[in-house]
Chain A
Amino acid sequence: DTAVSQTPKYLVTQMGNDKSIKCEQNLGHDTMYWYKQDSKKFLKIMFSYNNKELIINETVPNRFSPKSPDKAHLNLHINSLELGDSAVYFCASSRDSFKKGYTFGSGTRLTVV
């Protein structure tokens, strides 16, 4: 059983298109996250949801919109894709404690052409 599953694993699309990435966790965790990893491997937080409530919304273009229909799901929708959006996007989940780390999904490699 996959703990945090993300789909799709690869996404190649043209500039200007709209796409979504889905994430689901079956760990019963309270909080879910979206991270972007750029070509230099730097991990940058984008959004965080706690029990369907948005708690972190970093400086991200408003073309990116997260949606959490329930505690176990966090999706990322991207409008009007740009070349600079090409990156690996990771979903993660965790319990609400500084003693607990993240469980990551396998990542979605987005390539905008």
Chain B
Amino acid sequence: AQKITQTQPGMFVQEKEAVTLDCTYDTSDQSYGLFWYKQPSSGEMIFLIYQGSYDEQNATEGRYSLNFQKARKSANLVISASQLGDSAMYFCAMREGYNFNKFYFGSGTKLNVKP
């Protein structure tokens, strides 16, 4: 089974609107971390936000927030007030407590922000 599933290969959003990028995960570990990374066309991987499995509050970092629904095993990224510079690939990833040496990545979502 896939550890991380991103079902949206590509998405469009109008500038200044909010957008949600979906991510579901699969683990039997109680301790795990969920991450989102951004990869612009320049190619570098930029860390955006982290959510721990024991965190009761949803993580927020500026315009990024993580909608963490533990029972559903989902960790969706919400970008508020989209900007043209948000156009990029977005990767959801997970690291398990039991086997933290591996970092599981989803297949990514390509976000295009329209002016």
Interface, chain A (partner B; CB < 8 A): 31, 33, 40-43, 45, 48, 50, 55-56, 88, 90, 92, 94, 96-104, 106-107, 109
Contacts and interface: CB of A to CB of B under 8 A. Distances in A.
Main secondary structure of the interface of B (DSSP, over half): strand
Contacts of B105: 42-43
B91 A48 contact: no
B100 A48 contact: no
Interface residues of B, number: 26
Contacts of A106: 43-44
Given A42-B107, A88-B43, A90-B45, A99 B102 contact: no
A56 B102 contact: yes
A88 to B, nearest CB: 6
B103 A41 contact: no
B95 A98 contact: yes
